Amino acid sequence: MKKFLYLIFASVLFASCEENISLDLPREDPRVVVDGYVETGLPPYVILSRSSSYFDPINPTALNSFAESGAIVTLNDGFTTVRLFELDTIVNGINLKGFYAALDSVTKLPTMFGVEGRKYQLTITTKANEQLTSTAKLQPHIVLDSTWFKVQENLDSLGLAWARLSDPDSVGNCYRWMAKRITKDDLFLAPLGSAFEDKFINGQSFDFNALRGQIPNSTKPDDIKEEAGLFKKGDTIIVKFCAVDRGTFEFWRDAETQISNNGSPFAVPSNIKTNINGGLGVFATYSPAYDTIIAQ
């Protein structure tokens, strides 16, 4: 009984010491965020938006307020300069602005394609006369030696995608892995840890594996149950293995590290590295090589 009373007393004592703490986070001025891509054989495109405060709502309705419309966006590939045309893009029934593509404003035909070996200079002038620039090079593509599916130990039909890569004997190669399942995924999805470099593997041949990427906050049964992050026997997997430049690698390495550290008390907060002068985000280049895995 004495021990019981002591515990009650201690609980009351500690409860009386609690203090509500409210954080008054400073509001930063919104900055321009660039999400731009040049991919081999495809018209380049850029999505422009504004950053928001930490506690601002994130929902489909708010996206229109984030979009940066009316900017002048130009791209030079070392041979010609084109102006990217702003499209009216509808997502989930909402008309979104801020999507610019290398298309003719009348015919909607491409005015530029991604070509390996070329360096691309992006220039942006916003309606507020803010100036942003970035440069990125489209690297030569690298073909994987082989790809396959392997069931995880103690699992009946679930496993990972595997590949063998022979890295060229030149320091500085960077890569990003994506994949999609035929009839199951609409997009190529990148798992956490998808971006890596050859700092410790230069000139070597080695095997590596990859989890299955998924759309954030997905409620699909195979994304929230035991199949989450894993491929399954019977899947037809299209692998998109991309050679990327260093700016692309550093952005996605930092972004995926921050995502995986979300909520961890031991994580060190840091800014995601950007290759955008005058803003945030990334101007990325992808040189993909494709392969197919029949999971069996």
pLDDT at 209: 97
CATH 2.60.40 in the chain: give the residue spans.
32-137, 146-265+288-294
pLDDT at 138: 98
Residues whose CB is less than 8 angstroms from the CB of residue 194 and which lie 6 or more positions away in sequence, other chains included: 176, 177, 178, 210, 213, 252, 256
pLDDT in tens, 189-208: 999 999 999 999 999 999 99
pLDDT at 216: 86
Enter the tokens of residue 197: 């470099």
Query: Using alpha carbons only, how large is the chain's radius of gyration in Å?
Result: 23
Q: ∠ CA 271-272-273 to the nearest 5 degrees? A: 110
pLDDT at 21: 65
**144: helix, strand or coil:** coil
Q: Does the structure show a pLDDT above 50 at 5?
A: no
Exposure class string for 26-45: b at 16+ Cβ within 10 A, else e: eeeeebbbbbbbbbbebbbb
Decide: 164 and 207 in contact? Cβ < 8 Å.
yes
112 forms beta bridges with none
How does DSSP assign 146-169, residue by residue? EEEEEEPTT-SSEEEEEEEEE--S
pLDDT at 57: 77
Residues whose CB is less than 8 angstroms from the CB of residue 13 and which lie 6 or more positions away in sequence, other chains included: none
Residues whose CB is less than 8 angstroms from the CB of residue 186 and which lie 6 or more positions away in sequence, other chains included: 180
pLDDT in tens, 40-60: 999 999 999 999 887 777 776
Q: Phi and psi dihedrals of 60, rounded to 5?
A: -55, -35
Residues whose CB is less than 8 angstroms from the CB of residue 216 and which lie 6 or more positions away in sequence, other chains included: none
Q: Which fold has domain 32-137?
A: Immunoglobulin-like (2.60.40)
CATH architecture of 146-265+288-294: Sandwich (2.60)
pLDDT at 125: 98
C-alpha to C-alpha distance for 165 and 105, rounded to whole angstroms: 42
Enter the tokens of residue 258: 């921050």
**87: helix, strand or coil:** strand
How does DSSP assign 165-230, residue by residue? EE--SSTT-EEEEEEEETTT-SS-B--TT-EEESTTTTT-EEEEEEPPP--TT---HHHHSTTTT-
